[in-house]
Amino acid sequence: MTDKTGAVWTLAEQFGGRLKPVSFELLTRGRFLADKLGVPLVSVLIGEAVREEDLEELIQRGADEVLAAEEPRLADFVCETYARILTELILAHKPAVFLAGATSSGRTLMPYTAVKLRTGLTADCTGLDIEEGTGNLLQIRPAIGGNIMATIKTPDRRPQMATVRPRSSRPPEKDPSRRGPIRRIIPEDRLLQSETRVTGYRREETGLINLEEAEVVVAGGRGLKKGENFGIIRELAEALGGAAGASRDAVDRGWISYPHQIGLSGKTVSPKLYIGIGISGAIQHLAGIKTSEVILSVNIDPDAPLHQIADFGIVGDAFAVVPALLKRLRRGGGGKNAADLGQ
């Protein structure tokens, strides 16, 4: 595996025959790298009976080609089988770069496949680029507890493999005029043998909305002053049908658990609406919210950095603003401006 001129591949993920959003997000990263290298971008999918429209959408959003390995036994993700098929495809086509989402299946499949191919893998990259002169993939990710940004290279092995945080980039716009080949492959029977059988799926019954999937995220910070006050963050999140998040400071103080932390050393969110309450907007926090569609900041300090990058800012005391928002939401009315909130 020393061919350095190969294509850039991204892994498209499916569940129940429908593509997951991460499949499209990866095309943004892949397109950038493929254009820099001057090579094609190929989206690779393993599954069963994925809709033709979905595969066409991969092309419309930036892939030059789609490679779909399909068979009824591939409907569910089984690491050993998927890895076997990927390994065969990679050995046959020799891509230079292979990217997948840092999802639970991506995080399982990529290390397994990298070991089989005896190549390197960088998990959870926040940045990817191409090195001038060598064409090597620069794999950038926080290291040593987030204190430095490390740039990792795989100069001698191919493909160069990396996983990328879901939601850390927006999918490219759809261009319905884009066309490209969609190749559906039926893998050989020997590749499909497995001791593992998926017997079913059960939805997690915690009643909590997944922060990374939520359309509305309400996050609280040190401005809430103490743990008991975090209740207003959860209440507002619930009233908006969203999820509660937090700054690292709030998590470090034990006001809310680590899975709720947003930022460089926490989760990346990309909701339609992010509301930051009593959060100053440190660069490490902003790293986790920058792909949000609309950002609303509630902060007593008009110069707080979060206000500077927010689409809307309410300069005010969280303990006045949040109850007023809740009152208004529960009444079902919509105020026209912040002053209405005081009513």
Residues found near ligand FAD in the complex (CB under 6 A): 146-147, 221-223, 247-250, 261-266, 278-280, 282, 284-285, 288, 298-301, 304, 317-319
From the CB of 329, what's the least distance to ligand FAD, in Å?
Answer: 19
From the CB of 235, what's the least distance to ligand FAD, in Å?
Answer: 16
As a whole number of angstroms, the distance between CA 89 and CA 303 comes to: 54
CA distances from 239 to 91, 186, 270, 295 (A): 51, 48, 19, 18
From the CB of 45, what's the least distance to ligand FAD, in Å?
Answer: 32
Q: Which of 95, 71, 50, 45 is nearest to 191 (CA)?
A: 71
Q: Which is nearer to ligand FAD, 184 or 253 (CB)?
A: 253
Q: Which is nearer to ligand FAD, 194 or 265 (CB)?
A: 265
From the CB of 32, what's the least distance to ligand FAD, in Å?
Answer: 25
Record the tokens describing residue 312, joined without a space: 């809307």
Q: Which is nearer to ligand FAD, 106 or 221 (CB)?
A: 221
Q: Render 9-55 in DSSP notation, one character per residue.
A: EEEE-EETTEE-HHHHHHHHHHHHHHHHHT--EEEEEEES---HHHH
Helix (H) or strand (E) holding 299: strand 294-299
Q: Which is nearer to ligand FAD, 156 or 301 (CB)?
A: 301
First to last CA, the chain: 68
From the CB of 261, what's the least distance to ligand FAD, in Å?
Answer: 6
CB 262 within 8 A of CB 277: no
Q: Which is nearer to ligand FAD, 58 or 306 (CB)?
A: 306
